[in-house]
Copies of this chain bind each other. A is one copy, B any other.
Amino acid sequence: MTTDRPLSGIRIADFTQVFAGPFCTHQLVLLGAEAEKIEPVGVGDILRKYKHGGDQMGGTSGSFISINAGKKSIELDLKNARGREVAERMVATADVVVENFRAGVMTRLGFSWERCRELNPRIVYASLSGYGADGPMKHFPAYDHNMQAMSGMMTLNGAEKDPYMKVGFPLIDSFAGYTAAFAILAALRQRDRTGEAQYVDIAMLDASIVLMTSMVVPYMNAGRAPPRTGNRGYSGSPTADVFAARNGQLSLGANWPYQYEALCQALGLPELIDDARFATRDSRIANEIELRTLLEAKLQQEDAEFWEDHLNAAGVPASKVRTIAEAVALEQLQMRNLFQSVPVSHGDERSVKILNNGFRAEWNGVSDPSPLLGEHTDEILSRLGFNQQAIESLRAEGVVGRGVSDAAAAGS
């Protein structure tokens, strides 16, 4: 990782919590940005205390650690006038403000887009919410699974007549956060070009629709509801589906005639190429049960891993249906710089594995741990020009947290 990176020198006043917002700023920290995370005094980002999957690590959840590495934490009471003064200095000296409160909260706290632009005429202001900053649903709260219902996504999964079923992981949280990071990179470029403050408004609902582009746009224009196709691929081909091998299942992607022919050859079933029942795509669809029977009889002679290697070598897309455990163990993934190892906290000998941006470059990654609650309170206050006496005064009033020693104790 080079030291001069795309977002070197870019500072983020990070008002986000839980998932989509911190996931956004995580993507930017991975590019070299400095994120100063504002957390409620004594409480912190509630994601710290999530118990999902029993993933507690040293008092802080694995979920928190996964998306907060390298950030700095200031424990700050935004409901206190002196606390807001601290945050105003943060905004005035930042390049980016990111928030994912419900609509109206930032305005009530005194950090609306208009106010932040006054504080800093070059600020990039990113607002991330369920439904967007205005409109009839702007006050609706939302979690990922609710948005899967609202956006139509639940009705795409499974086969026709199956009950509606959501996607089994919070993909909208992740994608909306990623979309926000993309919007911020674009806005920074526009800010640098024009010298003017920029506003971007990211909604989970919009992001859901964009992720479903290949279903939504054909529907909007051709007027037909997308079919539910179970495990069949987007092409609709009967040989783009899941088949049983000897030990496990195999997802095949023989969409095109040349791929179907390669599949038959690689399976040692060349007679199926010209068999009248299967000679065209339409005939393969008409006789797909017979075709499946013949293919699976052969596939059951070897393990899914064997076929995966054998078929891909022959140019036929094929993947064993893997668990998450099997997937992250893939040799292919170990050389991608995707897995980043950071300490649990400063001085802790234990490390945790987290993820990079999802692409390989010379300049993305992170090596610092996620912060203890309030770990950088004094550092940030000093940067903002508060002297030791002023810091003690803020602390005495409970405007900021008790600082590093306490944070270290809380984290142990």
Contact = CB atoms under 8 A, between A and B. Distances in A.
B332 A132 contact: yes
Nearest to A217: B66
Contacts of A200: 359-361
Contact of A145 (B189, B240, B331, B360): B240
A211 interface: yes
22 contacts: A6-B193, A52-B218, A53-B218, A57-B222, A66-B218, A135-B331, A149-B242, A149-B321, A152-B324, A169-B226, A182-B182, A183-B361, A185-B189, A186-B361, A187-B361, A190-B363, A200-B359, A201-B359, A201-B361, A203-B360, A206-B333, A206-B359
A213 to B, nearest CB: 6
Interface in A345-362: 352-362
A78 B139 CA distance: 53
Contact of A158 (B146, B155, B168, B324): B168
Contacts of A150: 251, 319-320, 322, 327, 330
Interface in A207-233: 207, 209-222, 224-233
Nearest to A156: B168
A79 interface: no
A110 interface: no
A76 interface: no
Interface stretch (A92-100, A309-317, A372-380, A397-405): A309-317
Interface residues of A, number: 157
A307 interface: no
A88 interface: no
Contact of A175 (B4, B175, B316): B175
Given A141-B316, A145-B251, A182-B359, 11 more contacts: A53-B227, A62-B217, A132-B336, A144-B234, A147-B319, A164-B242, A164-B321, A178-B179, A190-B363, A201-B361, A205-B330
Count of chain copies: 2
A293 B216 CA distance: 35
- Binding site secondary structure of chain A: mixed
A361 B62 CA distance: 34
A6 B192 CA distance: 9
B186 A364 contact: yes
Contacts of A182: 27, 178, 181-182, 185, 357, 359
A325 interface: yes
Contacts of A215: 169, 324
A169 B57 contact: no
A173 interface: yes
A279 to B, nearest CB: 19
A11 to B, nearest CB: 15
